Structures are given as structure tokens and as C-alpha cells.
């Protein structure tokens, strides 16, 4: 059976004359270092840079919406699809109709989004001819 303090085939000790507790501490350093690196790298990856100015929900692309804290790529795509299907948003609260956006999530998103006022529609006319009754 192998013992870390027994000489190897070359006659040298594998771990030297270090006490067992010290050897165990030395083995843990690479793991500790790896955990620290992963933690620091994870913090940088998970953070988003919010838009400098609020995004218009009626004009923003899915890529732009995905930069808003609290909106991931899937939710951003859902917002654009909802807008295309149902027409322009009338107010920010309309986001509550989208699956995955709760009241709590809406409060997180609210500072970063806005809704432009839709352009008023001109009254339609009957090809420019006045309506006459007979």
C-alpha cells in the first residue's frame, strides 16, 4: 500500500518531511484559488450595463431590451413578439401581460423603459368625397 511519506522507487520522499496537516493545506490552495477566480469572473459576466437613457418599448429591439437589468434574451424576444402581435404598448404596466414579468420584476425594469405616445391617427375619409344623404 502507498504511503505519502514512504520513499518512491527513486528513493526520494514524495512530500518531503512535511507534517500531514501541512500537506493537506497545500493541496487545498489550488482549489481555493480556482474558486476565487470563478467567483470574480462570474461577477463580471453576470452584470449588465443598463442603458444610459430609458428605452422606448415601442421602438427597442430584442438586443437592446436584453441589456436592461431584469430582462433576459427570452423575455426581450417575448416583448418584441407581443408588440408585433398586439400593437404598440400604451403604458409600461402593459409588460405585466408578458409571461415572466411579475409586478416585482416590473418595478426592477421600470427605471430603464418608457413608452412613446403613439402618433394620433388622422380621421379616415371616404376618398375625399363628402357624405351625402338621399
Strands (E), the chain: 55-56, 113-114
Dist. CA 94–CA 91, nearest whole Å: 6
Dist. CA 55–CA 97, nearest whole Å: 18
Residue 107 belongs to some domain of the structure: yes
Are residue 90 and residue 70 in the same domain, yes or no?
yes
User: How many domains, in total, are found in the chain?
Assistant: 2
Are residue 99 and residue 60 in the same domain, yes or no?
yes
- pLDDT tens-digit readout, 59-110: 999 999 999 999 999 999 999 999 999 999 999 999 999 999 999 999 999 9
- pLDDT tens-digit readout, 11-56: 555 556 667 776 666 676 676 666 656 665 554 455 678 889 999 9
Amino acid at each position: 500500500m502507498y504511503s505519502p511519506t514512504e520513499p518512491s522507487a527513486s528513493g526520494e520522499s514524495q512530500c518531503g518531511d512535511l507534517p500531514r496537516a501541512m500537506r493537506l493545506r497545500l493541496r487545498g490552495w489550488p482549489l481555493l484559488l480556482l474558486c476565487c477566480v470563478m467567483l470574480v469572473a462570474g461577477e463580471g459576466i453576470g452584470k449588465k450595463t443598463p442603458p444610459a437613457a430609458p428605452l422606448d418599448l415601442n421602438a427597442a429591439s430584442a438586443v437592446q431590451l436584453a441589456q436592461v437589468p431584469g430582462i433576459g434574451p427570452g423575455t426581450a424576444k417575448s416583448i418584441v413578439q407581443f408588440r408585433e402581435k398586439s400593437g404598440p404598448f400604451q403604458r409600461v404596466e402593459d409588460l405585466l401581460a408578458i409571461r415572466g414579468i411579475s409586478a416585482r420584476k416590473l418595478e426592477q425594469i421600470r427605471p430603464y423603459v418608457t413608452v412613446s405616445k403613439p402618433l394620433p391617427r388622422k380621421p379616415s375619409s371616404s376618398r375625399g368625397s363628402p357624405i351625402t344623404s338621399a
